[in-house]
A = this chain, B = another copy of it.
Amino acid sequence: MTPQAIKVACSNCNLRELCMPMGLSGTDMGKLDELVTTRRRIPRGSPLFSSGDRFNALYAIRTGFFKTCVTTEDGRDQVTGFQMAGEIMGLDGIVGDRHTCDAVALEDAEVCELPYGRIEDLSREVPALQSHVHKIMSREIVREHGVMLLLGSMRAEERLSAFLLNLVQRLHTRGFSQSELVLRMTREEIGSYLGLKLETVSRTFSKFADDGIVEVKHRHVRILDIEALRNIVHAPACR
């Protein structure tokens, strides 16, 4: 397992998804090292990029936690996602040469900057990278379909259940507990993401706690009955 030791370390790295497509030759792997130029530290509360910023790179999260949100001139605001280690941000900027949403660190974070020009160049040389980039974008499209389903057809309890299950599942993938999590975002941000008011989020947490499904202490959540959450989301439709 000695040579794999490095690989194992990489598999914990945020860049794994982009840098480690399956079945790479050593040569190709070497080429991918050119992808990352800089790492950037983003203190909590600061934007990595903002709507209107010129687009020139994608970002892979190494550590930390982000939200992305779109804002309109008339003051409407929508959190479009929460991103954690290993996930890619900035895809929105490709189409128009400018970012169309804000990415804000919800805790101190570190990201790898992947200049877009290099991604394009390299993915012409390395088909596995090309394929990987496509998959990342497709995955984001499919994820957003899921959010549309949530926003378009679920009620408050279902939305919050789906949200918690999704978060804890992604955290579990990264080696964290399956039943305990610390929310990095406020009730208002959760509400914005779920299309609910912060009071409704708070009330729904309280209801889940009353029902013995979760234990909630501000931002610390312990899931006591994950099956109950699943049942709430996948409730046999009324009719």
SS class, residues of chain A in contact with chain B: helix
Which of B73, B136, B138, B148 meets A148, CB within 8 Å?
A: B148
Inter-chain CA distance A95–B96, complex, in Å, is 23
Which of B72, B73, B95, B96 meets A149, CB within 8 Å?
A: B72
* B130 engages A120 (CB within 8 Å): yes
* A145 engages B92 (CB within 8 Å): yes
Query: B-facing mask of A198-239, CB < 8 A → 1, else 0?
Result: 000000000000000000000000000000000000111100
Contacting residues, chain B, for A236 (C-beta < 8 A): 74-75
Residues of A within 8 A of B (CB): 70, 72-78, 80, 91-96, 100-101, 120, 123-124, 127, 130-131, 133-142, 144-149, 151-154, 192-195, 234-237
Q: What are the 5 closest A-B residue pairs judged by CB atoms, nearest first? A: A94-B138, A151-B151, A152-B195, A95-B138, A144-B144
